[in-house]
A and B are shown apart, each in its own frame.
With several copies, the nearest count.
Chain A
């Protein structure tokens, strides 16, 4: 392969292996000895900041989304998110923020939560070995024994109560979760993603932004799709993020999963949940709304899903392109491991591709985000009014059977509002798609109000 020869010929050894690292090396500080520049950036994810919609504030506790938008307390009534729900901050805080949220301290949670809040590649494999998976921790990650260790351990840790499980990990996401210690090539290691992308590949949904899946589909499909061997480097620059920045189910009733079996669009995920049955045969739902009694779905940070609907994804622009732009350090270029809002570094994050002044690029983002926010406010108002109407007629003793239509509309409307609100770019990752989803949300919420009136014979 010609590329490989070029690479070997030209790759200059600008970083030196001062300490050996392998599949057992969790501590980023060790990796950092070999790659000090990347490690420095990685550590800086502890920095706090705010943009109009990004970041979580420049000091103290991350800002509360519930205080910023009290409608959310009504919207999530009866669910843990109504108790404590904050803005996200840098990777360095992920483990601590999870351990201290009231959603964990005041509500029982399982070890599944750790899937995206800690470096657990090794923790999973060790647990797998303890539970009888074959091989040794030093086995290459790609080996079938290592894969069995990973999946077995994942299943087991998901079953543990959170307090027990969290003792098994000690770092936020770390080098080993995204990199092969031998080659430093990118890799995905999170079980939820490995299963989710497999289901997605098997689905019929066209994926122009993931050409390696399209290629796999047109092949004999003898082996299942494997992102680490079939995926291109450019795709992996997004997939490593898709390990966590996705919608998920993470609760006691089933092992953590990504609902991608029918595709990544909001209505495809909704449809999958609608058909999904828990082990006990019960239909899928996250919780029952306290005010209305309607069965609810909770959407969480579908960045990967929304990005997939946008023009950037179609154009081969990866998460890392914008959130980990190349930066020059001395004579050489590295990927900025200070993962954060691109608006803090427009020059590197955007201007390589967009030859417009920084002020103009900021204005474009502001326009997109403002349109999204205005429409989202409109949708949340409609949703809250529906919840009030439903709540009132329940109190007035209207019998639930006549409110079924309204319940269904409540779920559909809220699922959509939540999908955009939980997504963290305020519409930027897919501007028209975000607006489309909100338009539907408004329709379902208002139809719900009509259904309530009509049900009450009026």
Chain B
């Protein structure tokens, strides 16, 4: 295991432990929704009505037949990394959901958009080999990161969830 993934493993164990110990937050996490993160079935993402908009969008989007939530939103490099991101997202979102403290409209976080773009390119490597060969198209791609706007979603924002306006 690489240095980074072993760190991630430690971090994951840590977040999992906190999850178990952390009262109300972890109650929600365990009760249902958090666990959803351990499944690959889109239906369970929408255990949270808060994910409804994205779920519906995905079901009308161009990828409904070919990619589920986790194909795009979880890392597919190492299993550990996948589990780690699942764990921490599940933990964050459960906590946010319980505390209702998150900002709306919900927006993908920098870390997760890196995961996302890696997945676009994982599946479309052939299609985009030429345009990426001489320099990344570029995560971070989310304007909210105050960075340049490049990366797949700059033009394919609707790939995941259909037109958003």
* A353 and B136 contact, CB distance less than 8 A: no
The answer to whether B131 has its CB under 8 Å from any CB of chain A is yes
* Residue from B114, B125, B127, B134 having most chain A Cβ neighbours under 10 A: B134
Given A3-B53, A348-B104, A352-B155, residue A233 in contact with residue B130 (CB < 8 A): no
Interface contact A10-B122, CB-CB below 8 Å: yes
B-contact 0/1 string along A322-357, CB 8 Å cutoff: 000010100111110000000000011001110111
Contact B138–A356 (Cβ < 8 Å): no
CB distance from A228 to the nearest CB of B (A): 12
Q: Is B112 an interface residue (CB 8 A)?
A: no
* Beta-carbon contact of A7 and B136 below 8 Å: yes
Chain B 108-132 interface residues, beta-carbon cutoff 8 Å to A = 114, 117-118, 121-122, 125-132
The answer on a CB contact under 8 Å between B127 and A332 is yes
- Residue in B126, B137, B150, B165 whose beta carbon sits within 8 Å of that of A353 in the complex: B165
Residue ID in chain A nearest B53 by CB atoms: A3
CA gap between A12 and B125 in the complex, in Å? 7
Q: How far is the CB of A179 from chain B (nearest CB, A)?
A: 8
Q: Which residues of B contact A11 (CB under 8 A)?
A: 129, 132-133
Interface residues of B in 128-159 (CB under 8 A from A): 128-139, 142-144, 146-150, 154-158
Which of A223-238 touch B at CB < 8 Å? Answer: 232-235
Within 8 A of A (CB), among B21-46: none
A-B contacts at CB below 8 angstroms, number: 123
* Contact residues in A for B143 (Cβ distance below 8 Å): 316, 355-357, 360
Closest residue on chain B to residue A356 by CB atoms = B143
B-chain residues with CB within 8 Å of residue A328 when the two chains form the complex: 104, 127
The reply to whether A352 and B147 form a contact with Cβ atoms under 8 Å apart is no
Chain A residues, Cβ within 8 Å of B104:
328, 347-348
- Which residues from chain B contact A279 at a C-beta distance below 8 Å? none
Check if A6 sits within 8 Å of B144, measured CB to CB: no
- Among B49, B52, B144, B148, the residue within 8 A (CB) of A355 is B144
- Which of B114, B134, B144 is in CB contact (< 8 Å) with A357? B144
Name the contact of B56 in the complex, choosing from A3, A234, A348 (C-beta under 8 A). Answer: A3
**How far apart sit A357 and B143, CA to CA, in the bound complex (Å)?**
7
Q: Is there an interface contact between B130 and A15, defined as CB atoms closer than 8 Å?
A: yes
A184 within 8 A of B: yes
**Once bound together, how far apart are the Cα atoms of A226 and B77, in whole Å?**
35
Q: A211-B148, A331-B49, A333-B127 are in contact. Are A15 and B105 (CB under 8 A)?
A: no
Choose one: B53, B125, B134; the contact of A10 (CB below 8 Å): B125
Residue from B127, B136, B165 in contact with A6 in the complex, judged by beta carbons closer than 8 Å: B136
Interface centre among A2, A317, A352, A355 (most CB of B within 10 A): A355
Contact partners of A326 in chain B: CB under 8 A? 131, 155
Out of B134, B150, B154, name the residue touching A184 (CB < 8 Å).
Answer: B134
A331 and B126 contacting across the interface, CB-CB below 8 Å: yes
CA distance A351 to B156 in the complex (A): 10
Q: Which of A317, A331, A357 contacts B127 (CB 8 A)?
A: A331
Which of A186, A316, A334, A348 is in CB contact (< 8 Å) with B148?
Answer: A316
Instruction: Check A4/B130 contact, CB under 8 A, given A234-B149, A331-B49, A357-B146.
Output: no
- Residues of A within 8 Å of B133, CB to CB, are 7, 11-15, 184
Cα separation A283 to B89 with both chains bound (whole Å): 64
Contact flag A232-B148 (CB < 8 Å), given A10-B121, A14-B126, A355-B143: yes
Q: Are A233 and B136 in contact (CB under 8 A)?
A: yes
Nearest CB in chain B: distance from A231 CB, A: 9
Q: Are B154 and A316 interface neighbours, CB within 8 A? A: yes
Given the contacts A12-B125, A333-B128, A360-B143, A353 and B164 also touching, CB distance less than 8 Å: yes
B135 touches A185 (CB 8 A): yes
A7 touching B132 by the CB < 8 A rule?
yes
- Tell me whether B103 is interfacial, beta carbon within 8 Å: yes
Flag if B136 contacts A4 (CB, 8 Å): yes
9 smallest beta-carbon distances between A and B, as pairs: A316-B149, A12-B129, A184-B134, A352-B155, A3-B136, A353-B165, A234-B150, A11-B133, A234-B148
Q: A184-B133, A317-B149 are in contact. List 14 more A-B contacts (CB 8 A).
A: A6-B139, A10-B132, A232-B148, A232-B150, A233-B137, A233-B148, A235-B148, A315-B149, A316-B154, A332-B130, A333-B128, A334-B131, A355-B144, A356-B144
